[in-house]
Structure 1
C-alpha cells in the first residue's frame, strides 16, 4: 500500500516539473483567424470584417493618391518644357516678323529704283499692297496693310499711275498715293473755242478722263454755285447749266479723274478769265454776266475770225437796241436753231423733222436762255465792245468771207453773192 502511494507521488512531481526545452525567442504564437463557430458572436465578426475592408480600401486609396502625385509631378514638368518651347518658338517668329516688317517699313536694304505702279479706281488697301509688292516697291504686303490701318490711311488713296522710288519708306509711299504729285497718267486736252458742253464731255470720255454721262451730269448740277457767283444767279430753262462757263483752253487731266475735278478745272479757269476789269465792264454794260456770256457764245459760233467778231457783235447789239420793227428783235442766228445739236443732221432721226430748239432765235426775241457754246476771251471782249456800225444783217460764203448789210434788201443781195440763194 505504501509502495503504491509513493509511486503516485513520484509521478505527480514529474508531471509538475515537466518543461519543454524550447527557446523563448523561437516560439511565436500563431494568430488564428477569427473563425465563426458555434461559440462566436456574428455581429462582432461582421464588424471586424468591415473594419478590415475599410483599412484595405484606405491603404489602396493612399497608394493611388501617391501614384497620382508622382504622375502629376512628371506631367507638370513635361508641359512646362513644352510651353517653354512654344513660347520661345512664337517669340522667335514674332521677332522675325517684326524685324523683317520694320526693315521693309523703313526701306532698309532696298535699292533706289524708279518704278511705275498702276492703282485701280476704288482699289482696296489689299489691292494697293499687292500692286506695290508686284512692282517691287515693298516686300511685305501684309505689314504694309497693317501699317496702313494703324495710320488710318485706309480709304484715302487715289487711283492712277504713279512713279515711285523703291527706296521710299511706307510713310513716303502713302503720301505719294494720297496726292497727284507723282502721277504719270496725265492726258493733255485742248478744248477749242466754241466747243459746247456735249463736246466737252465727249472729249473727256475719248481721252479716258471720265465718262460723257458723268461729265454732263455734273455740268447740269449746281455743285459749284456756292463757289462762283456767276453760276449762282443762272435762271431760265437751260439745256446745260454750266454751258458757257467751261472755258476753252488746254488742260492737263489724269486718267480716271473724278468728273467734278475735271469740270471744276474748266469753270475755275473761266473765273480767272473774268477778271475784275471784265466784271467792271459787264457791270457798266447794263447786261448780266450770263447775258454777256450768251451773246459772246453766239458771236463765237458765228464769226469767221477775230475782226469779224466785233462787227457781228455790233449787228446783235443794233438789233437788241432797235425798236423791234421788221422783226429785228429776233437775232436770227443759225447756230441757235438746233442747239444743243450743231446741225439738223445731228438731231436724232426720230425727232428731226419736228425738232425746234428752245434757243432758236428765229422764233424767240432777244437772247436765248443761255449760252450755246463756250466762248473764248476775244468773243467775250467783242460782246462787251462791239464795233460802231449801222449793220443789222450779216452772212458768210463757203470760204467764210463775211458780208454785212444795213437793210434787208442789201442782205438779200449779199446772200446771192455768198451763194446762199
Structure 2
C-alpha cells in the first residue's frame, strides 16, 4: 500500500511539474514570442498616459491580445523605465517585450518638414500649414529668422514649436559663424551679415559662386555704390513670392527701404531665409576687386572689375538669349 501511494504521489508530482513547465513556457512565449499583429501598425500614446492606458491603446490597435496580460507581464519581466508619449510604428508580430522597450525608448515616428535655402518666410509658413500632422496657427515668422534645413516632428506637435526650433537654430548658427568671421568685412554686425547673405542666396544658385557674389557686394558697400540687386526691389511687391512676370520700370525705380537700385547700402532687412553656405560666404568672401556680374548662360555668372568689361559680358548674355529665342 505504501509503495502504491508513493507511486501515485510521484505521478501527481510529475504531472504538476509538467503543468508548471507548460505554464512557464506559455508565459514566456506570450511575453517574448511573436505578437498578434499581422501587419505594421501605428499606435499613438498620448501625453500623460499610464502603463494601463497605453496597454489599452495597444490592445485597441491589435498590437497585443490583452491589455491586462501586457501590464502583468510588464511588471513581472519588464524594467521600471517610464513609457514615453508619441506616435509609434509597431512592426507586424512584434513581441510584447519589444513593444515595451519601444515605448520606454521613445523611438517615435519622425516626420520631417523641409525649409529650402532662400525660401521666404511667407512661403515657409505655407509649408508648415501644409504639414497636416502639425497643429495650431502660426504667424509669418520674421524674415531671415529661420535656418533652412529639415526638421523632425511628431504628430500633434504645434507649428509654433517647430518655428521656435528653426529660429533657435538660426540664432546659434549665425552667432557661431560670426565668431569665425574673417577680418575687414564690409558688414559690421550679425544682422547686416544676415541681410547680405539673403541677397547672395537669391542671386546665385551655384554653390561655387557664393563667395564671389559676396565679394562683389562687399566691394560695392565699401565704395558706396548701390548694390543693384534685382530681388531687393521685388521683395516689397510680393514679400518673397515669385513675381510671375517681368518687373515694370516703375517698380525698378520705386522708392523703398529695400530697393537697392534707388539707395546706397543694405536693404532694411533680409529678403529670404539664407542657408549656412551663403552666411559663410558673406563672412569669408572671395579675394576679388570685381564690382559687376551678369548671367553667362550656363547657370552661373561672368564677373567684371570695370564697367566696360561688364558691358561686354552683358552683350554676350544678350546674344545668348537672342540665340535661344528669349528676346
TM-score (norm 1): 0.50
1:295 Cα deviation from its structure 2 partner:
0.7
Q: 1:183 to 1:314 in 2, by over 3 A?
A: same
Instruction: Give unpaired runs (5+ residues) of structure 2.
Output: 1-27, 72-82, 322-326
Partner of 2:124: 200
Partner of 1:183: 108
Q: Indicate if the aligned counterparts of 1:282 and 1:289 stay in contact, CA closer than 8 A.
A: no
The alignment yields a C-alpha RMSD, in angstroms, of 4.5
Alignment partners' CA distance in 1, 2:127 and 2:117: 14
Q: Answer whether contact 2:200 2:213 (CA < 8 A) is retained.
A: yes
Rg larger in structure: 1
Cα drift, residue 306 of structure 1: 2.9
SS in 2 for 1:345: coil
1:335 CA displacement: 1.5
1:318 touches 1:391 (CA, 8 Å); kept in 2?
yes
Equivalent residues in 2 for 1:373-392, closer than 5 Å: 373-392=272-291
Tell me, in whole angstroms, the C-alpha distance in 2 between the residues paired with 1:163 and 1:283: 54
- For the pair 1:163 / 2:90, whether they are aligned, the reply is yes
Cα 1:389/1:163, change in 2 over 3 Å: same
Q: Which residue of 1 aligns with 2:61?
A: 135
- TM-score w.r.t. the length of structure 2 is 0.62
Q: Cα deviation per residue 1:371-416 (whole Å; 9 max; x = unaligned)?
A: 2222233222221222233322211144323122334444333222
Q: CA separation of 1:313/1:134 partners in 2, compared to 1, >3 Å: closer, same or farther?
A: same
Q: Name the residue aligned to 2:18.
A: none
Give the length in aligned residue pairs: 266
Change (3 A) 1:108 1:401: closer
Q: Which of 298, 314, 324 is the aligned partner of 1:415?
A: 314
Aligned 8 A contact 2:117 2:273 in 1: yes
Instruction: State how 1:15-414 maps to structure 2 within 5 Å.
Output: 113=35, 116-119=41-44, 131-136=57-62, 137=64, 139=66, 158=85, 160-163=87-90, 167=96, 176=103, 181-184=106-109, 186-210=110-134, 214-215=137-138, 217=139, 220=141, 241=142, 243-274=143-174, 276=176, 278-281=178-181, 285=185, 287-322=188-223, 324=224, 328=225, 330-339=226-235, 340-345=239-244, 358-414=257-313
Aligned-residue offset at 1:316: 0.9
The Cα of 1:161 is off from its aligned counterpart by: 4.3
Larger deviation, residues 286-295 vs 116-125: 116-125
Q: Distance in 2 between matches of 1:380 and 1:417?
A: 31
Whole-angstrom distance in 1 between the partners of 2:48 and 2:245:
39
